[in-house]
A and B are shown apart, each in its own frame.
Chain A
């Protein structure tokens, strides 16, 4: 079974600064998807960014980018120009490509990192 580890329970950053959240995973599969989800105090789960393992290029979405190191099984999230609205729990998640029955399996989540933005 796959596992996802987020070693930073909490991170704090000054507004407008850059912060990097860490995620490592364990899998024997060669192809898979990785995601970062944001969960603000409203508890809504919001997709921030995704990465297909077969793509060597790191995904970027505006101020959010990832550093995907497949050999090291590492998938970190960089948030540039941090804003107060970025304050939330951030979850790293893994999903297999070759899901059973031809459909999509569920996501395996890490424990999350609580990101605090200091004004």
Chain B
């Protein structure tokens, strides 16, 4: 158990819909990262938040957005969903001034029908 929690574990929805994925980082970790793992694209970094502020962006689509709240949990919002958005979405967390080891949550499996 990495200490990072993600809900829900599975999510099935239809094209055009909007969903929200939730992540709680390890206690004391200020950085949260979101990754997408799909058969086509592999594992891709989407976005990072540090202590409530956006820190870095990767290959995140404009239909996707994220935020980190004062209690440090984070949410990833996916809208206008397409079939190709079906993937495993990971959240990871890390401390700022450590070896920057990122601890991954168990992931949310999103299926878009």
Which of A's residues lie within 8 Å of B, judged by CB? 33, 37, 42-47, 50, 52, 91, 95, 99-101, 103-112
* Cβ-neighbour of B56 out of A37, A43, A106, A110 (below 8 A): A106
Which of B's residues lie within 8 Å of A, judged by CB? 2, 31, 33, 35, 42-48, 50, 55-56, 58, 88, 90, 92, 94, 96, 99-104, 106-107
* B50–A103 touching, CB < 8 Å: yes
* B58–A106 touching, CB < 8 Å: yes
* B101–A100 touching, CB < 8 Å: no
Q: Which residues of A contact B103 (CB under 8 A)?
A: 47
Of A37, A103, A111, chain B has the most CB atoms within 10 Å of the CB of A103
* A44–B106 touching, CB < 8 Å: yes
Q: How far is the CA of A43 from the CA of B38 in the complex (A)?
A: 12
Of A33, A101, A104, A110, chain B has the most CB atoms within 10 Å of the CB of A104
Q: Which residues of B contact A33 (CB under 8 A)?
A: 99-100
* B56–A105 touching, CB < 8 Å: yes
* A47–B48 touching, CB < 8 Å: no
* B55–A108 touching, CB < 8 Å: no
Apart from A45-B104, A103-B55, A109-B43, 14 more pairs, CB < 8 Å: A33-B99, A37-B104, A43-B106, A44-B104, A44-B106, A44-B107, A45-B90, A47-B101, A103-B96, A104-B94, A104-B96, A105-B55, A106-B56, A112-B42
Q: How far is the CA of A111 from the CA of B39 in the complex (A)?
A: 10
Q: Which residues of B contact A50 (CB under 8 A)?
A: 99, 101
Q: How far is the CA of A35 from the CA of B33 in the complex (A)?
A: 16
Q: Which residues of B contact A42 (CB under 8 A)?
A: 106
Q: 27 A-B Cβ contacts within 8 A?
A: A33-B99, A42-B106, A43-B88, A43-B107, A44-B104, A44-B107, A45-B90, A45-B104, A46-B104, A47-B102, A47-B103, A50-B99, A99-B55, A99-B56, A103-B31, A103-B48, A103-B50, A103-B96, A104-B50, A104-B94, A104-B96, A105-B56, A106-B48, A107-B43, A109-B43, A110-B42, A112-B42
